[in-house]
Structure 1
Amino acid sequence: MIDYSEYLDFIKPIVEEAGKFIIDSFGSVHTLDHKFKFEFKTKVDDDINDFLLQAIQNKYPKHSILSEESTKPENFNDWVWIIDPLDGTLNFTLGVTDLFAISVALMYKEEIILGVTYAPIRKEIYYASKGHGAYKNNERLLASKEMELSESVVAIEYGKYDRTSILPYQKRLLENDGVLYTYVYCNASVPMCLVADQKIQSYLALELDLWDMAAGVIINREMGNIVTTISGDPWDISQRSVLVGSKYLSDDILNKFKNI
Structure 2
Amino acid sequence: MPNDFLSTAIETALEAGDFLRRHFETDIKISEKFSHDIKIELDNLAQEKIIASILKDYPEHQIIGEEGSIGSKDSEICWIVDPLDGTVNFTYGIPHFCISIAVQKRGKTIAGVIYDPIREELFTASEPGYPKLNGKVIKSSQRSFLSESVGVIGFSRTKETIAKATDLFFNLVPKVRKIRFTGSAALDLAYVACGRLDFYIEQQIQIWDIAAGILLVEKSGGKITTKPIIEGKTFSLKATNGSLNLDFVTFD
Q: Does the alignment reach a TM-score above 0.5?
A: yes
- Label 1:131 to 1:179 Cα distance change in 2 as closer, same or farther (>3 A): same
Matched residue, 2:150 = 153
Matched residue, 1:100 = 97
Query: Where do 1:55-204 residues align within 5 Å?
Result: 55-71=53-69, 75-95=73-93, 97-162=94-159, 163-175=162-174, 178-204=175-201
Contact kept in structure 2, 1:128 and 1:135, CA below 8 Å: yes
- Give the counterpart of 1:243 among 212, 235, 238: 238
Deviation at 1:76, TM superposition (A): 4.5
Contact kept in structure 1, 2:140 and 2:194, CA below 8 Å: no
- Label 1:209 to 1:258 Cα distance change in 2 as closer, same or farther (>3 A): closer
TM-score with structure 1 setting the length: 0.88
Runs of 5+ consecutive residues of structure 1 not aligned to the other structure: none
Cα separation, 1, equivalents of 2:144 and 2:65: 36
Deviation at 1:71, TM superposition (A): 4.5
Deviation at 1:258, TM superposition (A): 6.0
Alignment pair present for 1:51 and 2:49: yes
Deviation at 1:112, TM superposition (A): 1.1
Runs of 5+ consecutive residues of structure 2 not aligned to the other structure: none
DSSP 3-state at the match of 1:85: strand
Cα separation, 2, equivalents of 1:258 and 1:89: 28
Cα separation, 2, equivalents of 1:80 and 1:98: 29
Cα separation, 1, equivalents of 2:251 and 2:46: 42
- Provide the alpha-carbon RMSD of the alignment: 2.2
- Label 1:199 to 1:137 Cα distance change in 2 as closer, same or farther (>3 A): same
Cα separation, 1, equivalents of 2:25 and 2:152: 25
Which range moves more in the overlay, 155-164 or 132-141?
155-164
Identity %: 27
Cα separation, 1, equivalents of 2:57 and 2:72: 22
- Give the counterpart of 2:209 among 209, 212, 228: 212
Per-residue deviation, residues 108-161 of structure 1 (Å, max 9, x unmatched): 101111110001001111010022110001111024323311011110111122
Contact kept in structure 2, 1:106 and 1:115, CA below 8 Å: yes
Cα separation, 2, equivalents of 1:73 and 1:242: 28
Contact kept in structure 2, 1:31 and 1:93, CA below 8 Å: no
Deviation at 1:174, TM superposition (A): 1.7
Cα separation, 2, equivalents of 1:53 and 1:241: 27
Matched residue, 2:9 = 11
- Label 1:134 to 1:237 Cα distance change in 2 as closer, same or farther (>3 A): farther
Which letter maps to 2:246? I
Contact kept in structure 2, 1:88 and 1:100, CA below 8 Å: yes
Which letter maps to 1:77? S
Which letter maps to 2:84? L
